[in-house]
């Protein structure tokens, strides 16, 4: 039963990350996910300091607002201060993450019960320790699963009502702007959802490896199709496949579960890359043969 809940919880992390990661990959903003996953730490710390509850909705709100703030700072540095895009990302997320570490270890020490290692690396093997019990003794799953499911519900609803806006933003931002669509609002809306995804995933996979779930399945899916809806489905499928294979691989070799999942995801990406390359080469050879015969 523990295996079931670990795989199910990790699969929700993969789905949530793949859905939003697809838009980041299409917009060539993959490293924004990395920046946000680290930069939301101060928001989490401040929210926990006032709410004193790790399950509080204020943690999600604090992280989301910090994620939007991260995007604002990056945009300011790149557009107003004329700093190169990758440098803007690096400056912003290292600064905010450092501020979060200072808050935990210094100013708010003793008042904020947040394990920095857990935030960084997560520990999916321990998700079943925080149990949800009903009717006194009925175990209905780990708390992390329900947090991930809440995130999935929010992300799914937002993508459903705003699918056209996100699609235009991803494929033709200039055209969307010419139609009078407030692309800036859609951008920060997406950054807020990415922040939400990263913070609900901290307990399961941590801030470091959540980037793998955000980017790798989406990048793999992009190799398979150039249409958005199939890409979202492929990304979710590749994420779930990596979770299942990665989990049983980690159990067999007694290694990090999350690390194994991300590693398997990378292997899937490499396998698809090789297969696509061979397919292109085969098509080129067939075309050359046809031309020669003609």
CA 130 – CA 143 distance, rounded (Å): 6
Please provide the average confidence, as pLDDT, over all residues in the chain. Answer: 86
Report pLDDT for 62.
83
- Backbone φ, ψ for residue 138 (5° rounding): -95, 115
**How many CA within 13 A on the CB side of residue 142?**
24
* Domain ranges within the chain, ordered by starting residue: 2-207
- Give the long-range contacts of residues 267-271, CB within 8 A, separation 24 or more: 268/216, 268/220, 268/238, 268/241, 268/242, 269/216, 269/219, 269/220, 269/223, 269/238
CA 240 – CA 249 distance, rounded (Å): 14
Q: Do the beta carbons of residue 237 and residue 251 sit within 8 Å?
A: no
Report pLDDT for 120.
66
- Give residue-wise pLDDT tens across range 60-111: 788 888 888 888 899 899 888 888 878 888 899 889 988 888 887 766 665 6
Q: Domain 2-207, what architecture?
A: Orthogonal Bundle (1.10)
Report pLDDT for 36.
86
Report pLDDT for 227.
93
**Strands (DSSP E) found in the chain:** 131-134, 138-142
Report pLDDT for 115.
64
221's enclosing H/E stretch is helix 183-224
Residue segments in the chain with a per-residue pLDDT below the cut of 70: 1, 53-56, 106-121, 203, 288-294
Report pLDDT for 93.
86
Report pLDDT for 267.
97
Taking alpha carbons only, the member of 233, 176, 185 closest to residue 68 is 185
């Amino acid at each position: 039963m523990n295996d079931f809940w670990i795989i199910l919880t990790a699969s929700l992390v993969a789905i949530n990350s793949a859905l939003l990661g697809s838009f980041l990959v299409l917009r060539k903003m993959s490293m924004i996910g990395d920046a946000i996953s680290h930069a939301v730490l101060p928001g989490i710390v401040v929210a926990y300091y006032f709410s004193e509850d790790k399950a509080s909705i204020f943690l999600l709100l604090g992280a989301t607002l910090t994620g939007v703030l991260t995007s604002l700072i990056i945009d300011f540095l790149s557009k107003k201060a004329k700093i190169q895009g990758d440098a803007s990302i690096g400056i912003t997320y290292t600064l905010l993450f450092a501020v979060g570490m200072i808050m935990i270890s210094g100013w708010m020490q003793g008042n904020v019960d947040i394990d920095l290692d857990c935030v960084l690396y997560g520990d999916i093997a321990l998700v079943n320790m925080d149990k949800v019990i009903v009717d006194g003794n009925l175990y209905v799953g780990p708390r992390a699963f329900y947090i991930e499911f809440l995130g999935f519900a929010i992300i799914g609803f937002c993508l459903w009502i705003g699918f056209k806006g996100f699609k235009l933003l991803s494929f033709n931002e200039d055209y969307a702007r010419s139609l009078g669509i407030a692309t800036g609002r859609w951008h920060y809306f997406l950054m807020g959802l990415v922040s939400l995804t990263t913070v609900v995933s901290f307990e399961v996979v941590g801030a470091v490896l959540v980037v793998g779930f955000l980017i790798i399945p989406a990048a793999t899916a992009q190799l398979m199709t150039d249409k958005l809806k199939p890409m979202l489905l492929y990304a979710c499928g590749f994420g779930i496949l990596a979770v299942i294979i990665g989990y049983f691989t980690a159990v067999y070799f007694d290694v990090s579960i999350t690390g194994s999942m991300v590693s398997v995801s990378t292997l899937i990406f490499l396998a698809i890359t090789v297969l696509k390359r061979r397919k292109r080469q085969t098509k080129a050879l067939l075309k050359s043969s046809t031309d020669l015969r003609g």
